[in-house]
Amino acid sequence: MISIAEQLKDLFSQALVAFMGEEGRNVDPLIRPAGEERFGDYQSNVAMSLAKRLGAKPRDVAAKIREHLLAEPTATELCESFALAGPGFINIRLSAGWMAGQLAAIPAAAPRGADRLGIEPVAAPQTVVVDYSSPNIAKQMHVGHLRSTIIGDVIARVIGFEGHRVIRQNHVGDWGTQFGVLCAHLKEKMPTALDRPADVHLADLEAFYREASLRDEEDAAFHERARAEVVALHNQDESTLRAWRYIVDESRRHYLPVYQRLGVLLTQADERGESFYADRLADVVAWFERARQITAPAGLFPDGAMLRVEESDGALCIFFVTASGEPMFKNPQGKPFPMIVRKSDGAFLYATTDLAAVRFRVFELGADRVIYVTDARQAQHFEMVFTAVRAAGWTSREAGSAEVKLDHVTFGTILGEDRKPLKTRSGENVRLADLLDEAVRRAEAMIRANEADPDKRRGFSEAEIRDVAEAVGIGAVKYADLSQNRQVDYVFSWDRMLAMEGNTAPYLMYAYARIRSIYRKGAGDNRGEWSVESGDRGQATEDRKQATGVVITLTEPAERMLGRQILRFAETIESVAAGLRINLLTDYLYELAGLFMKFYEQCPVLRAGTDEVRASRLRLCDLTARTMRSGLDLLGIRVVERM
């Protein structure tokens, strides 16, 4: 199934070519969902954009486009009408019969694996690298790591769903001068960890890190020993490497369970920390030193770009200037602001590592697109890195090849009720594991309160209470974040995120469970539940019969609106993958749930007037639940069958 938006774009493109000749082939038809029901289902204002170019009135241009659309049989099959409106809009109303046919053609869910709902993978898949999470070694993951971790995970899932080859990269901070301090402290305070690493564990990473840092600040002799450990680490000294590996492994022992609990798909195999690039940094710096001055290929930057590689106070810097000689980046004092790639003492920096990482991802991983997910404070850093590698020609594998697309996905800060960055009462960072524990505790309290109420009791076993609480609590935290415009700060609120009404995970999870309950009753088989633990979507035989061979009718307005929303899932996925805005998917799911509730209120399902209408409406229930489950799965949120 190709998305409605893409099919409409193709039809309009054909009409534009028929109207304008080949000149019309590259014109964007400007198809958008209609803002209100009275305007139809979709709208095009392409005539307004072409009027001046063609020297004609927008409405006359729209009339010509409409004329060519009406002459195309495929267009009249897909659309009930193309109506001219206002100064030159074309309002598009889809055919209810065509939509019903598209819905009926969606295949039954596969017994295992992702439920694609008939959505075809992209015709030309790319290799896409997604860099996200990046926890710090020897430190606990805190609430500040949440956004990169879950936003990056959803982006990777969505792009993978589209059919692209996704390479996840966890750029962990596992190298640098701080490891000399940590290794020296470990050797002196916990020497047995080097000989028996499996038997000795750090209960509190933060305490270990603080102790080591404090010793480095206050003990001059220890500071010198720590510096010696840095040299030993770079020289591959075996005892220092053992200490380093122990610290990295202990950190991993803390953050991998957090990923698992969050439902994030990162594994140890996805880690490529700073240590991986350590041997590549000198070569990267030498390349820029040899180049000294680089003029970016024409057309790559609007104002042109030139890189000048110069020493400043002993440090090697890359200065960025436009073709007119103006600095591209300035410090607060208005002076040129360079990117330092080697310090005066010969040490390399984060920027050097990021340059090496882009080079590796393009030339060795074969990336066609690289996506970085970090907070907005790193925007200028990545703008510099991207400018440098583009000017250097590192985003084209060979002459004339397509430019590798580099995206920086930024996000704001999680705030407390005081509108300051979220902290504990003592002013410390909130540990992510503690935050998730609290979310599950609150969700469990809600469930137990309902179980104590005779009117709300569901008869959950203890195991079910704990399972549902885990799914709801974790889902609530993730959804509250993912449903935001990622570029803005948001206030963390337990009450809002755990609410059973509004755009929240509990509301959507409840809506899903309710729809599944309706469908099971209608299918007459309560054995067809999907297993949450195994991910098995194999419904019982009767369940499958209901899902195939049913003639769907969209007679009532509520049926029509629900059916259209189900079909818009494909274009929502396309929009998320293109713009990397997760809240487009959460908004879609919330609207889908609302349209289902309206449909269920206005269109009897189990007591429909005829068997045919009942079967059609049950099929709409099935497709709605499957779409919600697929959408929530892309968000990394686990559904439950009963709530």
* 157 inside domain: no
Q: Tell which of 359, 393, 411 closes a domain.
A: 411
On whether the CB atoms of residues 256 and 264 are closer than 8 A, the answer is no
Q: Is residue 430 part of a domain?
A: no
The per-residue pLDDT for 528 is 38
Whether residue 321 is contained in a domain is answered as yes
Residue 305, pLDDT score: 84
The answer to whether the beta carbons of residues 293 and 309 sit under 8 Å apart is yes
DSSP 8-state code for residue 604: -
Residue 484 burial by Cβ neighbours in a 10 Å radius (0-12, 13-18, 19+): buried
For residues 637 and 515, state if they share a domain: yes
- 405-411/414-415 β-pairing: unpaired
- Encode 497-551 in three state secondary structure: HCCCCCCCHHHHHHHHHHHHHHHHHHHCCCCCCCCCCCCCCCCCHHHHHHHCCCC
CB 42 within 8 A of CB 33: yes
The tally of domains found in the chain comes to 4
The pLDDT, as a whole number, for residue 548 is: 57
Looking at the fold, whether 218 and 249 belong to one and the same domain comes out as: yes
β-sheet bridge partners, residue 44: 31, 90
C-alpha distances in Å from residue 575, one per residue of 155, 162, 163, 402, 581: 11, 11, 15, 22, 8
CA distance 385 to 374: 14
Return the sign of the alpha-carbon dihedral for residues 535, 540, 545, 547.
Answer: negative
Tokens of 55: 């020297």
Instruction: State the Cα–Cα distance between residues 547 and 373, nearest whole angstrom.
Output: 39
| Burial (0-12, 13-18, 19+ Cβ within 10 Å), 370 | buried
Residue 312: phi and psi, rounded to 5, are: -140, 115
- Give average pLDDT by consecutive 10-residue segment, the chain, 643 residues: 94 96 93 94 96 94 97 96 96 98 90 84 97 93 96 99 98 93 94 84 84 95 95 93 94 95 97 95 96 85 87 95 91 94 93 98 98 97 96 88 95 94 87 97 96 91 96 98 96 96 97 96 56 37 52 96 98 97 98 98 94 95 97 98 91
Query: Residues 249, 298: one domain?
Result: no
96 phi/psi in degrees, rounded to 5: -60, -35
Q: Are residues 506 and 602 in the same domain?
A: yes
Residues 252 and 288 in one domain: no
Count of alpha carbons within 13 angstroms of residue 172, beta-carbon side: 25
pLDDT at position 139 is 87
| CATH code of the domain containing 62 | 3.30.1360.70
> Is there a domain that residue 100 lies in?
no
Q: Kindly give the interhelix angle for 4-20 and 569-579, rounded to the nearest 10 degrees.
A: 80
- Which residue in 436, 498, 467, 503 sits closest to 642, CA to CA? 467
Tokens read off for 144 = 């500040």
Helices 146-162, 462-482: crossing angle, 10 deg rounding: 90
**Tokens 């990056």 sit at which residue?**
152
Per-residue model confidence (pLDDT) at position 526: 36
> Is the Cβ–Cβ distance between 375 and 411 less than 8 Å?
yes
On whether residue 125 sits in a domain, the answer given is no
Q: Are residues 640 and 556 in the same domain?
A: yes
The CATH number covering residue 289 comes to: 3.40.50.620
Domain assignment present for residue 319? The answer is yes
Contacts of 305 (CB under 8 A, 6+ apart): 295, 296, 320, 321, 322, 323, 328, 387, 391
Residues 256 and 284 in one domain: no
Tell me what pLDDT residue 524 has.
74
Q: State if pTM tops 0.85.
A: yes
454 three-class SS: coil
- The CA distances from residue 490 to 143, 150, 413, 469, in Å, are 13, 15, 7, 24
Please tell me whether residues 221 and 321 are part of one structural domain: no
Q: Are residues 192 and 79 in the same domain?
A: no
Range of the domain at 185: 178-265
Q: Is 643 found in the same domain as 530?
A: yes
Tokens (6 digits) for 579: 């713009």
Residue among 147, 214, 142 at smallest CA distance from 184: 214
pLDDT the model gives residue 96: 97
Determine, yes or no, domain membership for 454.
no
- 384-404 burial: b if 16+ Cβ within 10 Å, else e: bbbbbbbbbebbeeeeeeeeb
Are 540 and 607 in the same domain?
A: yes
CA distance 306 to 318: 10
Strand partners, 491: 415
Residues 194, 229, single domain; the answer is yes
Q: In 3D, which of 626, 624, 634 has the Cα closest to residue 574?
A: 634
CB 630: neighbour CB atoms within 10 A? 20
CA distance 269 to 354: 20
Within a domain: 423: no
Residues sharing a CB contact under 8 Å with residue 97, sequence separation 6 or more, in sequence order: none
Last residue of a domain, one of 265, 289, 305: 265
End of a domain among 376, 411, 446?
Answer: 411
Q: What is the DSSP letter of 38?
A: G
